[in-house]
């Protein structure tokens, strides 16, 4: 990171990018944290990130839904979303004398289907955590040692990942997913996703460790879906949450 100064760090509010920003602060490196705001991000994440960044942070608004491949959730969606967002961030950095842009992908991210990673490489965006081989588990361990807030923060990818490919996504649908997930989080679920398939009941995807919380709150969870016009819905238990629509 020392050789990439002065630069910009894209901070999402998740533990990986927060850890990267904390490392820059800890070692007194010259980086400006920037949070990308758009319809694909949740309001809670936006407020959390603003609180983390404080006065040091800059907020940059992007709208990936303006790109047809993103709006129609084509399989190349993630590539175009990342490209449009980080191209704008890179341009902002260059205009402010900061030619290098860093982001928080870690080694574990390289093991899954991530078209967005190709866009980052194409733009010359740097991923220091992945480059040195730090895994999500190691990031959490070091974050805990550094006394960072919420080192066990569950991952919450952008809301576009909740929609099946070839589904036309609207801002109103994104807000419905956000509202349901926020309510379910307050009920007590942590490792879960709401999944949207056209012309079918919406899906609540959970991992095995959420079984007890789900069973204890089954009625309240059903009420949340019903309150947002999603009844019936169905439950699906999976070993992991990531890559749901990328499975064969």
User: Domains, the chain, ranges and CATH?
Assistant: 2-145 (3.40.50.620), 159-246 (3.30.300)
Which segments of 150-246 are extended strands (E)? 192-195, 202-206, 233-237
Q: What is the predicted pLDDT for the residue at 51?
A: 78
Q: What is the predicted pLDDT for the residue at 44?
A: 83
Structural element, H or E, at residue 25: helix 15-26
Q: What is the predicted pLDDT for the residue at 13?
A: 80
User: Rounded to two decimals, what is the model's pTM?
Assistant: 0.92
- In sequence order, the 6+-apart residues with CB closer than 8 A to the CB of 86 are 10, 101, 103, 119, 120, 123, 125
Q: What is the predicted pLDDT for the residue at 248?
A: 54
Q: What is the predicted pLDDT for the residue at 247?
A: 67
Q: Which residues of the chain have pLDDT under 70?
A: 110-112, 247-248
CB burial string 66-94: b at 16+ within 10 A, e below: ebebbbebbebbbbbbbbbbbbebbebbe
């Amino acid at each position: 990171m020392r050789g990439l100064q002065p630069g910009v760090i894209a901070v999402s509010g998740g533990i990986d990018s927060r850890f990267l920003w904390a490392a820059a602060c800890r070692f007194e490196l010259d980086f400006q944290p920037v949070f990308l705001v758009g319809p694909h991000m949740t309001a809670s994440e936006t407020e959390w990130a603003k609180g983390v960044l404080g006065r040091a942070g800059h907020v940059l608004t992007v709208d990936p839904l303006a790109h047809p491949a993103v709006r129609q959730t084509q399989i190349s969606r993630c590539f175009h979303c990342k490209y449009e967002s980080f191209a704008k961030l890179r341009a902002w950095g260059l205009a402010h004398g900061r030619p290098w842009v860093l982001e928080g992908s870690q080694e574990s991210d390289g093991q899954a289907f991530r078209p967005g990673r190709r866009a980052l490489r194409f733009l010359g965006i740097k991923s220091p955590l992945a480059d040195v081989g730090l895994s999500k588990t190691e990031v959490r361990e070091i974050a805990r040692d550094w006394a960072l807030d919420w080192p066990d923060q569950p991952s919450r990818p952008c809301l576009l990942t909740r929609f099946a490919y070839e589904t036309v996504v609207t801002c109103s649908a994104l807000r419905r997913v956000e509202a349901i997930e926020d309510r379910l989080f307050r009920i007590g679920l942590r490792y879960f996703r709401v999944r949207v398939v056209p012309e079918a009941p919406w899906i609540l995807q959970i991992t095995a460790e959420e079984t007890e919380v789900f069973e204890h709150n089954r009625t309240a969870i059903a009420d949340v879906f019903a309150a947002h016009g999603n009844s019936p819905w169905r439950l699906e238990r999976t070993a992991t949450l990531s890559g749901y629509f990328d499975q064969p």
